[in-house]
Amino acid sequence: MDAGAERVAEGDAVSVAMGRAYEIVIGIETHVELGTLSKMFCGCSARWFGMPPNTLVCPVCLGLPGALPVPNRRAIELAMTAGLALHCEVPEHTKFDRKNYMYPDLPKGYQISQYDLPLNVKGWLEIPADGGGTKRVGIIRAHLEEDTGKLLHGQGYSLVDFNRSGVPLLEIVSAPDMSSVTEALAYAEALREIVIHAGVSEFRLEEGAARFDTNVSIRFREGGEVRWPPQSEIKNLNSLRAVEQAATFEAQRLWDDWHAGGEIRSRRAKITVGWSPETGRTFLQRRKEEAEDYRYFPEPDLVALAPSRETVATIRSSLPEMPSERRARLASQHGLSDYDARILVSDPALAALFEDAVGLGADPKVTANWIGGETLRLLRERSVRAAEIPFTAAQLAQLVGLITTREISATIAKDVFAEMWASRTDPAAIVEEKGLRQVSDEGALGAVVDQVLAAQAKAATDYRGGNKRALEALFGAVMGRTKGKADPRVVRRLLTEKLG
């Protein structure tokens, strides 16, 4: 047996012991645009998505000679808010630096960022751990910078749109604390919820206004030693699904490359790769990218920042309730399951809809079911954001009331819900207008039951003769004659009484 084969065998032994051949180590750098009205260093609008190319630009964000940046106070406050929500410290001294590199989407030839004195340091957030319980993932830093322009590639040419250039961007760098793809997804989801709840950003992944750079490495035992070769940084992942697929692929590729005696065995530094959802593979972008390549130096056009302790204390005390606290409160206050609480808190707009409806007297469990069921289904089906739900909490509370008082049946409620979504009409008005109210009146239903028994005398005789299944045919006939509006419990009782 040669040395290589021995190593593989050793790896297999580890695999048997741990359930998989290697441990995955993941750290994530998240870029998220802050929800300001204007850009980081000029007065141009920061709401670039969907705007005609190069219409939100000025000499500052185009990097024209002589143009001077002026920092956006709101962006700095929002960046500190995010940091404090992530349990970071805001140091007394922080500054902006120039990160020098050439790229067509960066007309200045440098990006204003933060290097050795970031705005937020040493934080953490909590995720569900693979082995059960919870786990803290460290936040190394969260610093402020400006976004770049956007390149649009055609056949044989590229175009550049500078609308996004200069939009305030927060880069949140986690410690390499995630030991599986599942934990990486839990981190991304927890971070998204915290950033949205803190009111810092809408975290619009689908618009490219939030992106993940995912650092993946593998660690394993071989020949009695722990091996931990350099990582791959997968750039610009714009969905949780992309993080999941790309990290899974890259970890396995590194493992396979190691056993094939590939470049990972001699490599000393990380590589940067891209992800192609079409091929389901990563591809090499750059071999080496060290801080010294960027020749960082303090931004000469901006003074250093010294956030006052009063400002930090004010922001910290005005932080809204965070997702984990809100989940725990909703669960205990309204007797919801952890599952229901998670769905509601996945978006503050859903949680607010729930709390407002319940505040108006709606039954909590039924309300949670309608938000987690039909509401989410229609949001996804129509690609609508939770903040844009077309009905009000009062209308939802009214619908829930109609259901819990048995004025409408569950089946009819779905039709009323769809109509309420489409026309924004109050559910009570829809029920009234379309005559959908459930019929529980024994006199009215008794008359229908009598008609059915007369019309289907054979079924009645069969039932009395011991064929219990004949009851279902009679029941179906009554429901049909009332167009589904009859209260099923009253119909069953009347039928058995009259047949008895």
DSSP string, 170-194: EEEEE-S-B-SHHHHHHHHHHHHHH
In the complex with Zn ion, the residue whose CB is nearer, 44 or 495, is: 44
Q: Which residues pair with 279 in a beta bridge?
A: none
Cβ atoms of residues 460 and 444 within 8 Å: no
Part of the chain binding Zn ion (CB under 5 A), chosen from 40-48, 225-233, 302-310, 337-345? 40-48
Q: How far is the CB of 39 from Zn ion (least distance, A)?
A: 5
Part of the chain binding Zn ion (CB under 5 A), chosen from 37-45, 90-98, 402-410, 486-494? 37-45
State yes or no: residue 42 binds Zn ion (CB under 5 A): yes
In the complex with Zn ion, the residue whose CB is nearer, 58 or 352, is: 58
**Both tokens assigned to 326:** 């809100």
State yes or no: residue 44 binds Zn ion (CB under 5 A): yes
In the complex with Zn ion, the residue whose CB is nearer, 18 or 64, is: 64
In the complex with Zn ion, the residue whose CB is nearer, 60 or 117, is: 60
In the complex with Zn ion, the residue whose CB is nearer, 58 or 366, is: 58
Identify the CA nearest to 41 among candidates 151, 150, 145.
Answer: 145
Cβ atoms of residues 195 and 203 within 8 Å: yes
In the complex with Zn ion, the residue whose CB is nearer, 146 or 193, is: 146
Distance CA(127)–CA(192), nearest Å, equals 12
Q: How far is the CB of 38 from Zn ion (least distance, A)?
A: 8
In the complex with Zn ion, the residue whose CB is nearer, 70 or 269, is: 70
Distance CA(130)–CA(146), nearest Å, equals 35
In the complex with Zn ion, the residue whose CB is nearer, 35 or 63, is: 63
Q: How far is the CB of 54 from Zn ion (least distance, A)?
A: 11
State yes or no: residue 46 binds Zn ion (CB under 5 A): no
DSSP string, 223-236: TTEEE-PPPEEEEE
Q: How far is the CB of 61 from Zn ion (least distance, A)?
A: 3
By CB under 5 A, what part of segment 48-87 binds Zn ion?
Answer: 58, 60-61
Which H or E element spans position 444?
Answer: helix 442-455
Q: How far is the CB of 71 from Zn ion (least distance, A)?
A: 13
Q: Which residues pair with 281 in a beta bridge?
A: 276
Q: How far is the CB of 41 from Zn ion (least distance, A)?
A: 8
Q: How far is the CB of 119 from Zn ion (least distance, A)?
A: 22
Q: How far is the CB of 60 from Zn ion (least distance, A)?
A: 5
Tell me the C-alpha to C-alpha distance, in Å, between residue 396 and each of 277, 356, 364: 39, 9, 11
Phi/psi at 288 (nearest 5 deg)? -145, 140
Phi/psi at 15 (nearest 5 deg)? -55, -45
In the complex with Zn ion, the residue whose CB is nearer, 63 or 348, is: 63
Tokens 């309204």 belong to which residue?
334
Tell me 322's DSSP state: P
Binding mask 263-292 for Zn ion (x = CB under 5 A): ------------------------------
Q: How far is the CB of 64 from Zn ion (least distance, A)?
A: 10
By CB under 5 A, what part of segment 304-333 binds Zn ion?
Answer: none
State yes or no: residue 452 binds Zn ion (CB under 5 A): no
**Both tokens assigned to 217:** 């490495």
Q: Which residues pair with 230 in a beta bridge?
A: none
DSSP H stretches of helix in 19-103: 73-85
In the complex with Zn ion, the residue whose CB is nearer, 60 or 491, is: 60
Distance CA(301)–CA(296), nearest Å, equals 14
State yes or no: residue 167 binds Zn ion (CB under 5 A): no
Q: Would you give the distance in Å from CA 57 to the centre of its chain?
A: 30
Cβ atoms of residues 164 and 48 within 8 Å: yes
Q: How far is the CB of 65 from Zn ion (least distance, A)?
A: 15
Q: Give the number of residues in contact with Zn ion, rule: CB under 5 A.
A: 5
In the complex with Zn ion, the residue whose CB is nearer, 69 or 427, is: 69
3-class SS at 214?
strand
Cβ atoms of residues 413 and 403 within 8 Å: yes
Part of the chain binding Zn ion (CB under 5 A), chosen from 44-52, 117-125, 236-244, 358-366? 44-52
3-class SS at 42?
coil
Part of the chain binding Zn ion (CB under 5 A), chosen from 34-42, 184-192, 259-267, 343-351? 34-42
Query: Which residues here bind Zn ion, judged by CB under 5 A?
Result: 42, 44, 58, 60-61
